[in-house]
Amino acid sequence: MADNLYTEIILDLYKNPQNKGRLEKFNLETSGGNPICGDQVTFTALISNDIVEDIKFFASGCAISTASDSLLTEMVKGKKISEVKKITPEKLFEQLGGIIQTRIKCALLGLIVLKKGIEEYEKSGKKSATIKGIVV
Amino acid sequence: MKNVRNDFPILKQKINSKPLIYLDSAATSQKPIQVIEAELNFYKTSNANIHRGLNTLSRMATEQYENAHGKVSEFIGAKSAREIIFTKNATESLNLLAYTLEKNLSKGDEVLLTKMEHHANIVPWQQLSKRKGVVLKYAEITPDGKLDIEDLENKISPKTKIISITAASNILGTINPVEKVGKMARSAGAKFIVDAAQAAAHMKIEVKKINADFLVFSAHKMLGPTGIGVLYGKEEPLEELEPFLTGGDMISEVNLQSSSWNILPWKFEAGTPNIAGAIGFGAAIDYLQKIGMENIALHEQELLKYSLKRIGEIKSVQIYGPRAQERTGILPFNIGTVHPHDVSEILDRNAVIIRAGNHCAQPLMQQMGMEGVCRASFYLYNTKEEIDALAKGIEQTKKIFGA
């Protein structure tokens, strides 16, 4: 039963998260959380010429949100910010191997926080942005 | 105690084709058939509004509703049913107090709480603080999760007007020395409020011994229905307070410009109350009395001790809180760094129901340095076999997440 929810991809990313931590040099910091379950995530990213050169995440949360944050960093690294903005929840869920209805919010936290951060980065005239306390 | 399970229809249910193992009674208890039938019978035989009209049906409903007040009064050893006000739940009772006690407070007065309070005994006082400029102070807790009584005493000042503490922590199960704190409150001239939401279901509450001005609890945690709770208050401080909610039933006379209030406890029960809920609550109290609160406490102690040993010996499981003798049947734990929501998800798939998260007590969680915690809580219908099933689920969780 449990395998339906905790797919191999999720468990693997949870146990071996990629790009975990905080960049030393970054021009975007975006963080938020889900107050109901307490999950939190912070991304630091270095963006130049509209490309996400580097990105790291730091999170405290369940296996699904941690796996999702980790996967996201891999999906966006080296990509144009216009492409990041196009990532749909469905695409993310598919990459995670499927998400059950009750845990959609866990999987979506990172994507919402990252997209909001990129929006604010663009508003800043693509210089730098720090966004804290996004509530999902 | 073995036969009580038969009285709880829900416990015969299967979830995911496995027998339901309910270890979340600290959130809400299950209901025995006697309570369910009491509500059903009321609607089938006596449903009418209370305190209205002199018809037979209304008299029947009124009598049963008032009887429920009497049962609660007797259950906690109050002087009379005049001291028993029915509210929606313990939260509403605390809000009622935070609003009505306001008139005696001035800017700079202090309200003393503890760091192990449920949000229900924090947020109403924060709102009061915004309205009146009163200062909130919090007594510390010790590393093993007990109330630091010396710190509490040190935080009492001539400005302390209200001391409001929980009788038992909803996360750690810690039982607090409420009588002792009550004595301190009295010598400081402060009103003393006890949040008994987590205690009333599990131990004998004697309000005369506790000597609190006010004490609150909810029916649903003690085998009763949801939507009904209690504000116990000594007559004198209750008489001093203005009504909280106003409208029908709580008045004695209404004129165009002003009204006068009904006698206690009706002065605080505006509008049509939860009549069926009150009657169900009365049946819950009958049930608890029949089993005996001492027996329930003993049974929970036995389960708690067993679980501390059984779950405690699983490698990488951490259990929080004080020793068994100093707590109610609550087992807070974490499995390595596995997130509590992931633990509860796996347990749920084994039909083991626990609570996971911050449990409406974020200040306590911060104090204990926990981001979240799993909580198994026991009641009179739980068994050692169910704790074995919890242990099995924990082992499975460890395997899945490599903890």
The dihedrals phi and psi of B309, each to the nearest 5 degrees, come to -75, -55
**Residues A53 and A46 sit within 8 Å (Cβ to Cβ):** yes
Q: Which helix (H) or strand (E) holds A64?
A: helix A63-76
Place of tokens 């509008």: B271
Same domain, B173 and B155: yes
Q: Within its chain, how far is the Cα of B164 from the centroid? A: 14
Query: A43, A31 in Cβ contact below 8 A?
Result: yes
CATH code, residues A2-121: 3.90.1010.10
| Domain termination residue (choose one: B289, B323, B347) | B289
Look up B360 and say whether it is catalytic.
yes
CA gap B105, B109 in Å, rounded: 6
Task: Determine the 3-state secondary structure of B345 from DSSP.
Answer: helix
- CB B83, CB B74: distance < 8 Å: no
Q: Give yes or no for residue B91 having a pLDDT over 90.
A: yes
Residue B87 DSSP symbol: E
What's the token pair of residue B96? 């009622």
User: Do B77 and B126 share a domain, yes or no?
Assistant: yes
Q: Of the candidates B129, B95, B93, B127, which has an alpha carbon nearest to the alpha carbon of residue B111?
A: B129
- In eight-state DSSP terms, residue A27 is S
Q: Do B342 and A15 touch (CB under 8 A)?
A: no
Evaluate if residue B294 carries a pLDDT over 50: yes
Q: Tokens standing for A17? A: 């998260």
Q: Which pLDDT score, from 0 to 100, does residue B262 have? A: 94
Calpha distance B397→B403 (Å, rounded)? 8
One domain for residues B329 and B248? no
CA B34 to chain CA mean position, Å: 21
Q: Which of B248, B270, B289 is the last residue of a domain?
A: B289
Work out the minimum CA distance from B146 to partner chain A, whole angstroms: 25
pLDDT of residue B97: 98
Pick from A5, A11, A63: CB nearest B339: A63
CATH number of the domain that B160 lies in? 3.40.640.10
Among B289, B319, B348, give the residue marking a domain's end.
B289
- DSSP secondary structure, B352-378, as one string: EE-EEE-TT-HHHHHHTT-S-EEEEE-
Q: Are B118 and B233 part of one and the same domain?
A: yes
* Structure confidence at residue B276 as a pLDDT band (50, 70, 90): very high
Domain shared by B194 and B323, yes or no = no
Q: Which of B360, B361, B390, B394 is catalytic?
A: B360
Q: B278 at the A interface (CB within 8 A)?
A: no
Task: Report the residue from B338, B341, B401 with minimal CB separation from A37.
Answer: B341
- C-alpha closest to that of B241 among B130, B103, B107: B103
Q: What is the pLDDT confidence band of residue B188, given thresholds at 50, 70 and 90? A: very high
Cβ proximity of B354 and B342 under 8 Å: no
Closest CA of chain B from A22, distance in Å: 20
B395 phi/psi in degrees, rounded to 5: -60, -40
CA distance A50 to chain B (A): 35
User: Does one domain contain both B275 and B394?
Assistant: no
Which residues does residue B215 pair with via DSSP β-bridges, in sequence order? B194, B232
* pLDDT tens digit sequence for A21-70: 999 999 999 999 988 778 899 999 999 999 999 999 999 889 999 999 99
| pLDDT over threshold 80, residue B35 | yes
Task: Round to the nearest angstrom and report the end-to-end CA distance of chain A.
Answer: 28
- Among candidates B357, B292, B354, which has minimal Cα distance to B329? B354
Which value does ipTM take for this structure?
0.83
Residues B325 and B281 in one domain: no
Shared-domain flag, residues B21 and B95: no
| Peptide bond connecting B265 to the previous residue in cis, omega within 30 degrees of 0 | yes
Q: For B346, which of A2, A37, A66 is closest by C-beta distance? A: A2
Residue B267 has a pLDDT of: 96
The answer to whether residues B77 and B109 belong to one domain is: yes
Please state, in angstroms and rounded to a whole number, the distance separating the CA atoms of residues B164 and B112: 6
CB contact under 8 A, A63 and B401: yes
Query: Phi-psi category of A67—alpha, beta or left, where left has phi over 0 and alpha has psi -120 to 50?
Result: alpha
Quick check: A1 pLDDT over 50? no
Number of compact structural domains in chain B: 2
Query: What residues does B319 pair with on adjacent strands?
Result: B333
User: Cα(B176)–Cα(B178) distance, rounded to whole angstroms?
Assistant: 6
Separation of alpha carbons A89 and A82, rounded Å: 16
Q: Under a CB-based contact definition with an 8 Å cutoff, are residues B259 and B78 in contact?
A: no
pLDDT at B191: 98
Domain residue spans of chain A: 2-121
Residue in the block written with tokens 């699904």: A64
> Mean of the per-residue pLDDT values for chain A?
92
Q: Which of residues 43-72 of B touch A (CB under 8 A)?
A: none
Q: How far apart are CA A43 and CA A131, in angstroms?
A: 10
- Whether residue B60 contacts residue B47, with contact meaning beta carbons closer than 8 Å, is answered with no
Cβ-defined contact of B402 to A15 (cutoff 8 Å): yes
Are B67 and B196 in the same domain?
Answer: yes
Judge whether B360 is closer than 8 Å to chain A, CB to CB: no
The tokens for B345 are: 């998800």
Average pLDDT over residues B396-402: 93
Token representation of residue A30:
């975006």
pLDDT given for residue A2 in this prediction: 41
Give pLDDT tens digits for B36-85.
999 999 999 999 999 987 899 999 999 999 999 999 999 999 999 999 99
Q: Kindly report the CA angle at B263 between B262 and B267, in degrees rounded to 5?
A: 55
What residues contact B73, with CB distance under 8 A and at least 6 apart?
B79, B80, B81, B83, B84
Token pair 């029949």 is found at B290
C-alpha span between B109 and B95 (Å, rounded) = 18
**B91 and B48 share a domain?**
yes
Of all residues in chain A, the one with the smallest CA distance to B397 is A2
Give mean pLDDT, residues B362-371.
Answer: 82
- Interface check B357 vs A, CB under 8 A: yes
Q: What SS3 class is residue B391?
A: helix
DSSP string over B165-230:
EESB-TTT-BBP-HHHHHHHHHHHT-EEEEE-TTTTTTS---HHHHT-SEEEEEGGGGTS-TT-EE
> Which range of residues forms the domain containing residue B355?
2-28+293-401
Task: Give this prediction's pTM.
Answer: 0.92
**Residue B195 backbone dihedrals phi, psi, to 5 degrees:** -90, 105
pLDDT tens track for B192-236: 999 999 999 999 999 999 999 999 999 999 999 999 999 999 999
The CATH number of the domain where B21 resides is what?
A: 3.90.1150.10
